[in-house]
Structure 1
């Protein structure tokens, strides 16, 4: 038979109320007593009734994490960083994958509200006013990862996406490339990925190169986008380099070029974005802009737990460093 809270109180030699205070992290319990209770909990393998406890405390010790594409190597690494921190503070994680589907994303937000999550880490595929209104309706602490709302009301953990893409594109131009193609998500989407297009355009204009729509292809962040993008652009124009909004896109683009007998980097230079693990073992090894994926998740979770527990927060908007990783896909 599973141990009860009464069993824990008896084992620790304290009252049921004291055990409850320890479980609910009420600060009035002294450290010695808290240690006794925690040892009793461990010895008896006691697990509190989450449903009953949440009804009383209005807390479920559950964090919702919404990602747009779990098949991408980027998001699992962010989630791993978040989950490792959640485990330290005894929070559970509820992971939802929207598959870049806006309606599915809205539905998951409603599910999280029904499940009474204590907080939300939100990695959105489309951060517009409607989605922000839905998040506000949740009435739970929320931290954005990778994206930032225009008004900066929600806490966030990001990199400088415009600067990162600017540096990647500038590197291609410095290699002597004049016709730099872009493959990524649409420039008008209100999310982090559109910032990469802005950085691309900034680098071109600084170099005195007029952006050419015939050298652009917009879709999602998957490898098929890279493959299809090369085919589409080649029908309209020639290019000597490609800046890609994700490493998956870059890999798809390189495979498409290879199928056409176009060599990378001898004929075309390619730069990706994120520095997922596969980028370092793909052939040729991918030059890419690195994001600190694990750190983004862990910092977001630490920030969120502070907000949930109404602890003082010195900084609500973290902009983490990025790095251009130079490998073999550029001359």
Structure 2
């Protein structure tokens, strides 16, 4: 039979109220008594009833993390950073994967509300107005990671994706490339992925290079998008010097398709990825890519959210972290 709070109080020789104060981290209990209670909890293997506790405190010490694609190597590193911080502050995590489905995102937000989570770290595949409206309607304390909403309503941790997309294209252009393809997500997506194309457009315009619509392919950030994109581009384009990709997975799919068409990377075509996932370092050729500080994005966002939950001042509402281009072997 599971130990009760009454059993803990008896073992420690204190009142039930004192055990409750220790469990809720109320400072009025002296260190010696607190130690006795903690030792009794450990000895008896007592686990608080979270539901009963939450009814009293209106807190569950639980945070929801919503990611768009669990198969991507990008999001687990963000989650690891977030979870390391949540463990420090004794918060539990519920991880939800929307699988790039906006309706599934909405359903998970409703489920997290029903589970009475204290807050949500939200990584979106769309960040459409109806989703941000739902977050407001559900009154969920939320920090956005990777993207930010246009109005700047929600705290966020991002990089400057327009600038990163610009830097990526600029890097390729400065290699002397003119026939440049782009594979990624359309700019009207409204999130980080679409912003990368805006940066690409800006760089091309500044260098007076016309964007050939036959050399632009939009899909998601998965490997299949890169493979399909190159297959379609090669059917229409007369020549190709380089490919700017919105993710490392896209870059890998693109390289596979180029190989199948007897085009070598980087001898014939330069390819640049985005994110700097682990596979970018071990894939052949090793990918030149735009690096995001994934772990830091997760840890900073979780610290912000815990402050928000505990009604503490957030020094900065929107963190824009640095990105950098990592030069490897996929560009000449």
Q: Under TM normalisation by the shorter chain, which class is it?
A: over 0.9
Whether 2:299 is the aligned partner of 1:298: answer yes
For residues 304 and 30 of structure 2, the distance between their equivalents in structure 1, rounded to whole angstroms, comes to: 26
Q: Deviations over 1:220-249 (max 9, x none)?
A: 000000000001111221220011000000
Partner of 1:119: 119
Whether 2:143 is the aligned partner of 1:143: answer yes
Partner of 2:218: 218
Deviation at 1:311, TM superposition (A): 1.6
Mark the CA change 1:29 to 1:311 in structure 2 (over 3 Å): closer, same or farther: farther
Deviation at 1:141, TM superposition (A): 1.1
Q: TM-score, normalised by structure 2?
A: 0.96
Q: Which moved more, 1:65-74 or 1:310-319?
A: 310-319
For residues 49 and 194 of structure 1, the distance between their equivalents in structure 2, rounded to whole angstroms, comes to: 44
Deviation at 1:81, TM superposition (A): 1.2
For residues 305 and 277 of structure 1, the distance between their equivalents in structure 2, rounded to whole angstroms, comes to: 29
Partner of 1:289: 290
Whether 2:257 is the aligned partner of 1:260: answer no
For residues 214 and 100 of structure 1, the distance between their equivalents in structure 2, rounded to whole angstroms, comes to: 26
Q: TM-score, normalised by structure 1?
A: 0.97
What is the root-mean-square deviation in Å for CA atoms of aligned residues? 1.3
Question: What secondary structure does 2:189 align onto?
Answer: coil
Question: What secondary structure does 2:200 align onto?
Answer: helix
For residues 207 and 33 of structure 1, the distance between their equivalents in structure 2, rounded to whole angstroms, comes to: 71
Partner of 1:64: 64
Deviation at 1:210, TM superposition (A): 2.0
Question: What secondary structure does 1:188 align onto?
Answer: helix
Partner of 1:168: 168
Mark the CA change 1:32 to 1:138 in structure 2 (over 3 Å): closer, same or farther: farther
Partner of 1:279: 280
Q: How many residues align?
A: 331
For residues 5 and 319 of structure 1, the distance between their equivalents in structure 2, rounded to whole angstroms, comes to: 45
For residues 274 and 39 of structure 1, the distance between their equivalents in structure 2, rounded to whole angstroms, comes to: 45
Partner of 2:98: 98
User: Where does 1:1-331 land on structure 2 (aligned, <5 Å)?
Assistant: 1-237=1-237, 238-331=239-332
Deviation at 1:31, TM superposition (A): 4.1
For residues 34 and 130 of structure 1, the distance between their equivalents in structure 2, rounded to whole angstroms, comes to: 47
For residues 32 and 310 of structure 1, the distance between their equivalents in structure 2, rounded to whole angstroms, comes to: 29
Deviation at 1:4, TM superposition (A): 1.6
Deviation at 1:32, TM superposition (A): 4.3
Deviation at 1:42, TM superposition (A): 2.5
Structure 1: runs of 5 or more not aligned = none
For residues 155 and 119 of structure 1, the distance between their equivalents in structure 2, rounded to whole angstroms, comes to: 12
Deviation at 1:37, TM superposition (A): 2.7
Q: Which moved more, 1:16-25 or 1:98-107?
A: 16-25
Q: Which moved more, 1:123-132 or 1:30-39?
A: 30-39
Q: Deviations over 1:65-91 (max 9, x none)?
A: 111100000111111111111112111
Q: Which moved more, 1:224-233 or 1:134-143?
A: 134-143
For residues 25 and 129 of structure 2, the distance between their equivalents in structure 1, rounded to whole angstroms, comes to: 36
For residues 27 and 204 of structure 1, the distance between their equivalents in structure 2, rounded to whole angstroms, comes to: 60
For residues 2 and 314 of structure 2, the distance between their equivalents in structure 1, rounded to whole angstroms, comes to: 39
For residues 78 and 287 of structure 2, the distance between their equivalents in structure 1, rounded to whole angstroms, comes to: 21
For residues 27 and 153 of structure 2, the distance between their equivalents in structure 1, rounded to whole angstroms, comes to: 30
